[in-house]
Amino acid sequence: MSGEAPSNLNVTLPPGSSLLRLGQVLLDAWEVGAHQWTQSPLRAAELKDEAAPGMPMPRDAVELFRVLEELGVPYLLVGGMAMLTYVQDRNTKDVDLLMSLESVRQIPHLVIEDVNEFFAHGRFHSIQVDFLLVANPFFRSVAERFSSRHKFAEREVFCATIEGLILLKLYALPSLYRQGDFGRVDLYEHDIAALIEKYAPDTDALFAHLEPHVSAPQLRELRSIVAEIDLRIARFRQRSDPRP
């Protein structure tokens, strides 16, 4: 069989698909993919002594980090872009930041679109920015105890640790279940599983940190979710073990 593709092969998109949108998705994945994170645990494991290749970068995200650095305001990168510090296959162009509302209001060129007690949403040039506000005691505790620094493109960025990301996703799950937002539930549980499988954090310590901030029934349910994740990881490892 020839390895050449047939010259008359027709490629079609599903009804309603847009070539422009498809191109934008591919560009987004390229701009903020894992290759952009240097000096991170994931890149250190992959590249070892190799130099990171020069790649296109999300210009407005890098500009936002530059502005935050110049302002000297405390912030913590969380969400999908922070996940790229630690795992692959998590592309997003949005930026999620944990910080105070006072600091949010200092950011030039940020158009704030919505604010409530613990969250704010806005746009910085071409990128959507979602804010978790430290007025929430749990968010503040994560910002204070679970921060690290990693290099994104040419800038040093304050980023949530593995434990901090797991905590934020666990904390969000009860609300997502109540809202029936099963798409995000699935995404968050997948992220939690990926971090636990790759880094094996001390989940008992995480639940001890979480306990004062959730109800007893919520804590039991979250423990059950993590127990199910542990079982799935054990089954996966058993099935992928080549030994008889």
The region of weakest confidence among 18-27, 165-174, 204-213 is 18-27
Domain ranges of the chain: 19-160, 161-238
Percent of the chain with pLDDT over 90: 62
Strand partners, 114: 121
Do 148 and 131 form a contact (C-beta atoms < 8 A)? no
CATH says 19-160 is which class?
alpha beta
At residue 12, φ and ψ (nearest 5 deg) are -125, 155
Helices (H), 86-181: 101-104, 137-145, 162-179
Confidence of residue 192 (pLDDT cuts 50, 70, 90): very high
Whether pLDDT at 158 is above 70 = yes
Look at residue 94 in the predicted model and tell me its pLDDT.
85
Specify the 3-state DSSP secondary structure of 10.
coil
Q: Tell me the helix, strand and coil percentages in the chain, rounded to 5.
A: 50, 15, 30
Q: Indicate the burial class of 118 (C-beta count within 10 angstroms; 0-12, 13-18, 19 or more).
A: middle
pLDDT tens digits, one per residue of 39-86: 556 555 555 444 444 334 478 988 999 999 999 999 999 998 899 889
**Calpha distance 29→91 (Å, rounded):** 5
The pair of three-digit structure tokens given for residue 98, joined into one six-digit string: 């944990």
Look at residue 237 in the predicted model and tell me its pLDDT.
85
The region of weakest confidence among 29-43, 51-65, 145-159, 218-232 is 29-43
**Calpha distance 107→210 (Å, rounded):** 31
Look at residue 26 in the predicted model and tell me its pLDDT.
46
Look at residue 154 in the predicted model and tell me its pLDDT.
74
The pTM for the full model equals 0.77
Look at residue 87 in the predicted model and tell me its pLDDT.
87
Look at residue 175 in the predicted model and tell me its pLDDT.
95
Q: What is the dihedral of CA 108, 129, 209, 145, to 10 degrees?
A: -40
Beta strands in 100-160 (DSSP E): 110-115, 119-124, 127-133, 147-152, 155-160
Average pLDDT score over residue span 126-140: 97
Look at residue 34 in the predicted model and tell me its pLDDT.
52
67, 104, 107, 196, 211 from 72: Cα distances, Å: 9, 12, 11, 33, 32
Specify the 3-state DSSP secondary structure of 187.
helix
